[in-house]
Structures are given as C-alpha cells and as structure tokens.
C-alpha cells in the first residue's frame, strides 16, 4: 500500500501576515478582504464590526431625532397660523355681526377662505400626527 500525503496550507492573515490557525481563517471584513488569524479577529475585526453597528444605530437615532424636530417645527408653524386665522375670523365675525357697511361682503368672503385653509391645516395636522403613530 502506498501512503497518501495530504498537504494542508493555512492562509496568511491579511492583517498581521502570520499564518491562520485553520485552513479557512476568519473573515477580515470590514477591515480588509481576505482571511485573518484568530488573534486579529478577536482584537481588531470584531471590535470594528461592533463599532460599525454602533455607528449605524447612532445614525438611525439622529435621523429619527431630525424627523421629530421637523415634525415639531411644522406643527408649531401650523399652530401659529391657526391662531392668526382664528383671530382674523373672529374679527370678521364681529364686522358681519355689527353689519359694518362696505365690509360685510369682504369679511364673508375672507371667512370662507379662512375656513377652507383651516380645514387644510387640520388635515395636515392629522397627517403629521398619524406619521408619528
């Protein structure tokens, strides 16, 4: 019987140039393409992966925060517009109630526009609130 000689070569670590402990080594991503030894895997690659995950989480949190700030600002703008329109609507109601000549039609027309805009604002607020939920 003849003996069969099997030669197994271990890859060289792409990070430290030492031979890997197994025939496959470890995936060195995200630091480099190729295989790395166990020591580099534990001391360099895994911490880099964790840091990447933390960075992604932080980025997502910042996006959520920015979205909430924009939502809050938009709601405040709508609230300010609501208060302004409400005050103007009340003034126009007084004009109509007191039958101030020459201003009744203008007040009625403007109040119609205000009611339409108020409906748009309330619909916008509902949309903004629903996006949050």
With tokens 């031979």, the residue in question is 19
CA–CA separation, 75 vs 77, rounded Å? Answer: 5
Kindly report whether the global pTM for this prediction surpasses the value 0.75.
no
Q: What are the pLDDT digits (tens) for 108-126?
A: 899 899 999 999 988 888 8
- Yes or no: say if 23 and 17 are a contact pair by the CB < 8 Å rule: no
Q: What are the pLDDT digits (tens) for 26-79?
A: 999 999 999 999 999 999 999 999 998 888 889 999 999 998 899 889 889 989
pLDDT of the residue at 121 = 87
* Per-domain residue ranges of the chain: 26-132
């Amino acid at each position: 019987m003849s003996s069969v000689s099997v030669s197994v070569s271990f890859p060289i670590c792409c990070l430290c140039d030492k031979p890997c402990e197994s025939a496959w080594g470890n995936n060195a991503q995200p630091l480099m393409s190729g295989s790395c030894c166990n020591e580099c895997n534990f001391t360099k690659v895994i911490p880099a992966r964790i840091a990447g995950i933390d960075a992604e989480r932080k980025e997502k949190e910042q996006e959520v925060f920015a979205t909430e700030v924009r939502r809050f600002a938009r709601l405040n703008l709508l609230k300010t517009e609501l208060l302004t329109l409400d005050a103007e609507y009340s003034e126009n109601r007084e004009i109509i109630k007191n039958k101030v000549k020459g201003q009744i039609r203008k007040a009625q027309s403007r109040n119609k526009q205000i009611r339409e805009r108020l409906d748009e604002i309330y619909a916008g607020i509902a949309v903004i609130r629903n996006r949050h939920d």
